[in-house]
Chain A
Amino acid sequence: MDTQKLVKDCIREIPAAQRQLYDHFAESMLGVCYRYTKSIDDAEDVLQDGFVKVFRNLGQYKYEGELGGWIRRIMVTTALNFLKKNSRYNHDFSFDNENLHPVADDNPEVKMTGKELADLVRQLPIGYQTIFNLHAVEGFSHVEIGKMLGINEGTSRSQYARARALLISWIKKNDQVNFKTGVYAGK
C-alpha cells in the first residue's frame, strides 16, 4: 500500500481511497477502541468518531512516523473524549489524588490471549482501565497521562499500580467466573 498516495487521494475525497484506508485500519483500531470501552457498541461509536476525525484532519498528517500510529493516537484521544462525555462512563471517570503505591512487584507469566487479556482489563474500573491501557499498552509515561487526563503524575502512578495489582491477582486466580459476572461485563 502506497501510504502517501492513499493519503493524498483521501484528502482529495476520493471515496475508493477513503474506503481502502478504512478497510486497512478499521479492525486494528476497533481493537484499540475495544480496550477503552465496556461494550462493542461503544467501541464502534468511538471508531466511527475517530475515523471521521481522521478523514477530516488527514491534511495534518506530515508523513512523520507510521500512518497507523497517527491514526491510533487519534483513536485513543477520541476514546478518552468519549469516556469523559458519555454519562455511562464519566461518573466513574474520576481520579483521587492519592499516592498509595501498593506492592505489585509480581510479574506473573501470562498465558492468555489478547482477547482474554482485553476482557480482563475491561473488568477494571474505568479509571484503572484507562490508565492501564495508556501506560502498559500505549506506552505513555505517567507525565503524559497526567496531562492527557488532567491529573497529577502521582495519581496516575497510583491508579496504575492499583490496576496492575488487581489485574495480576485476577490472573493468578484465573477466575473466569469473575470475568463474566463483573459489573462492567462486555457484550
Chain B
Amino acid sequence: MPENEFEKKVSSEMQELRFKPSDNVWLRVEERIKTKKKRRVFVIIFLLAGLGLLGYWQRTNLFGEQKNEIAKTVQKDSPGEKQKEDNSQSTNEINNSSAIKQNTETTKPEETTNTTVKTADNKPTDDRSVIDKKDIVVSKNEIRKPTKNNEEAKGKTGSVKTKKDPKPEASIAIVSANSKTKSGVVDYTSKDLTANPETNAKQQDTNQAEVKPVENKIDSAKAVTGEQEKNATPKPDTLLKADPAKDPTPQIVKKDPSAKKWKWGFHITPGISSLNNNDISLGGTNFADASYQSPTTGSGSAAPPPVRQTPSDVKSGFALQVGAFAQRRLSSRTSLSAGLQYGYYSNILHVGNRRDSIISNQNSQFSVSLDRNASQVYNAGGSTMKHTNHYHFIELPFLFQWQLNKNKTKPFTWSAGFTVGQLIASNAIMYDTAFNGVYYENKSQLNKTQFSLSTGFSWTIANNKKMQWNLGPVANFHLTKLVDNPFESKRYLFFVGLRAGVLLNPKK
C-alpha cells in the first residue's frame, strides 16, 4: 500500500460516518436560537410595565392637583389666631394704607387684565393677602366656568369676560389690590376698603357669593372622588371572578392530572415602601400650604399668616411581606394564585419637638378630630426627631401568572393582580395645621382596609422534584388612600421589593 494510503482510507471511511441525532437536539437548538427573540419580548414587556407605572403615577398626580385646587378654598383658621395675626400686622397696615389708596385709584384696565392672567399661575408666595386674593380670583374663574365656556365658544377673550362680570366694581377692586401687592408695593388691607366703602361692601358680597359655589364644588368634587374610588375598587374583583370562568383551559387540565392539584408555597419579600406624595412630582402648592392661606374674614381685616410649618417630606422605609400561597395551573402557561400574608410597611418623617401638653388644653384651636383622638403630638417642620411610621397589615393577594418563556423547568413569569389588606396596627402620625402645624397620632383617620394593585416578575432559579425556587421584583400600588386627613394631600402606600419564593411540587 503506498504512503498515506492509510490516511486516505481512514478519511474516506470516516467522512461517510453518519448518526441520527435524537429529537431533543433539535428542540434544544430551536429553543436557543429563539432566545434572541424572547429577549426582545422581555424588553417590550418591561417597557410596557414602565409605561403602566408612569401612567399610574400620572393618574395619582392629576388626582392630587384637583385636591390642591379644592384645598385652596378650604380655610381652617380660628378666630383666636386671626386676632394674633391682626395684632402683629397692624403697624404695616397703617403704613401702607395711603399708598394702596393711590394705587387703587390709578389702576388701569390693562393692568387689570394682566393681573387676571397672572393670578391663574398659582405660584407660591409668602404674602398672605396676595394668596387670599388669588384664591378669590381663581375661585371666581371656577365659578364662571360654564359662562366662560360659552363665551369662548363665541370667540371672546378672558379680559372681555372680566369686564362683563355682573359685579364689575368688586372685581376690579380685588384685582387691582392683587396687582399692587404682586408688584411689591403694599399689602391689601382693610383700610383700603374703609376708604372706599362702596367697594368694601361689594367686596364682601363678592367674597360671600364666590366662596359658596366653590364649597359646592368641593362637595361635588368629593362626590366625584368618591365615585371614582367606588368605580376603581370593583375592577380587581372582576379580574378575579372573570379569569377562571373565561379561561377555556379546563380541557387541558383534564389531560394532566398533576395540573389539577394546588401547589403550595411560601415567600419572603423584603423591600422598601413609601407614600406616593402627589405634591413632590407636581412641584406646586401642597394641601397643607394651601390650607393656611386663609381668606380674609368678612370684616376684611386680613393679616399675613404666622410662619406655619408645612408637612415633612416622606422618605421610604423598610418593608417586608411574608406569607403562604396556593397556586393552581389554568393552562400550560397561565396560573392563578391566592394567599395569606403579613405585610409590614414603613416610611420616615422628620418632626420637631413633642407637644403632648396641648392635648389637655380644652380651649385649644385644634380641629375637632384632633381634640377627640389625638395623641403623640409633635411640632411639624422641625428635624429634631426622626419618626418612622409603621404599618402592619394582614393581606390577601390574588395573582394571575403568565409564563413568558417556554422552558418548563425554569419558567420566567409575569404576575399581576390585586391585594386586599387589613391594617392591624400602626403608629402613623398625621399632619394638622393647628398650632402652626403639628403632627399627631390618630388611628381613627387611617383607612384600615386597603386595596392595592400588584405586579412583578419571577425567575425560577432552581427546580427539582420537590420544590421550585423563584426570585424576582414585585411592586404594590395601593388604590385606597392611607389617611383621611384634610390637611394632607391624598397619599397612597406603595411597595417595591425582591420576592424570594418556594413552590412545593405535589407528590404524584
- Which residues does A use to contact B, with CB under 8 Å? 13, 15, 18-19, 22, 26-28, 30-32, 34-35, 40, 43-44, 47-48, 51-52, 55-56, 105-110, 112-115, 117-118, 121, 135-137, 139, 164, 168
| B1 x A30 contact (CB < 8 A) | no
* Residues of B close to A32: CB separation below 8 A: 17
| B18 x A27 contact (CB < 8 A) | yes
| A113 x B6 contact (CB < 8 A) | no
| B14 x A168 contact (CB < 8 A) | no
* Residues of A close to B146: CB separation below 8 A: none
In angstroms, Cα B9 to Cα A164, docked, is: 13
| A18 x B19 contact (CB < 8 A) | no
| B1 x A118 contact (CB < 8 A) | no
| B26 x A22 contact (CB < 8 A) | yes
In angstroms, Cα B17 to Cα A114, docked, is: 6
| B19 x A110 contact (CB < 8 A) | no
* Residues of A close to B123: CB separation below 8 A: none
| A18 x B30 contact (CB < 8 A) | yes
| B18 x A31 contact (CB < 8 A) | yes
With both beta carbons as reference points, the residue of chain B lying nearest to A138 in the complex is identified as: B11
With both beta carbons as reference points, the residue of chain B lying nearest to A110 in the complex is identified as: B9
* Minimum C-beta distance from A138 to chain B (A): 8
In angstroms, Cα B10 to Cα A112, docked, is: 9
With both beta carbons as reference points, the residue of chain A lying nearest to B8 in the complex is identified as: A136
* Residues of B close to A114: CB separation below 8 A: 13-17
16 new A-B pairs (CB below 8 Å) besides A32-B17, A40-B19? Answer: A13-B37, A19-B26, A22-B29, A27-B18, A30-B19, A30-B21, A31-B19, A43-B19, A44-B22, A55-B29, A107-B6, A110-B6, A110-B10, A114-B15, A136-B11, A137-B14
With both beta carbons as reference points, the residue of chain B lying nearest to A52 in the complex is identified as: B32
In angstroms, Cα B61 to Cα A132, docked, is: 73
Q: Is B7 an interface residue (CB 8 A)?
A: yes
* Residues of A close to B37: CB separation below 8 A: 13
| A56 x B33 contact (CB < 8 A) | yes
| B29 x A117 contact (CB < 8 A) | no
CB contacts between A and B, total, < 8 Å: 94
> Which one of A18, A27, A106, A137 lies within 8 Å of B10 (CB-CB)?
A137
* Minimum C-beta distance from B83 to chain A (A): 80
Q: Is B372 an interface residue (CB 8 A)?
A: no
> Which one of A15, A115, A168 lies within 8 Å of B6 (CB-CB)?
A168
With both beta carbons as reference points, the residue of chain B lying nearest to A116 in the complex is identified as: B13
Q: Which 4 A-B pairs have the closest CB atoms?
A: A31-B17, A107-B1, A114-B13, A27-B18
State the main secondary structure of chain B at its contact with A. helix
* Minimum C-beta distance from B340 to chain A (A): 44
| B33 x A18 contact (CB < 8 A) | yes
In angstroms, Cα B23 to Cα A44, docked, is: 10
In angstroms, Cα B7 to Cα A105, docked, is: 12
* Residues of B close to A55: CB separation below 8 A: 29, 33
Q: Is B2 an interface residue (CB 8 A)?
A: yes
With both beta carbons as reference points, the residue of chain B lying nearest to A105 in the complex is identified as: B3
> Which one of A48, A106, A112, A164 lies within 8 Å of B29 (CB-CB)?
A48
| B21 x A44 contact (CB < 8 A) | yes
* Residues of A close to B4: CB separation below 8 A: 107
| B14 x A35 contact (CB < 8 A) | yes
* Residues of A close to B2: CB separation below 8 A: 107
* Residues of A close to B22: CB separation below 8 A: 44
Given A118-B17, A139-B11: A44 and B29 within 8 A (CB)?
A: no
* Minimum C-beta distance from B295 to chain A (A): 69
* Residues of B close to A51: CB separation below 8 A: 25, 29
A-B contact pairs, 9 of them (CB 8 A): A15-B30, A18-B33, A19-B26, A26-B25, A26-B26, A47-B21, A56-B33, A110-B10, A164-B6
In angstroms, Cα B19 to Cα A40, docked, is: 9
* Residues of B close to A164: CB separation below 8 A: 6
| B11 x A34 contact (CB < 8 A) | no
In angstroms, Cα B321 to Cα A45, docked, is: 42
| B25 x A136 contact (CB < 8 A) | no
| A137 x B15 contact (CB < 8 A) | yes
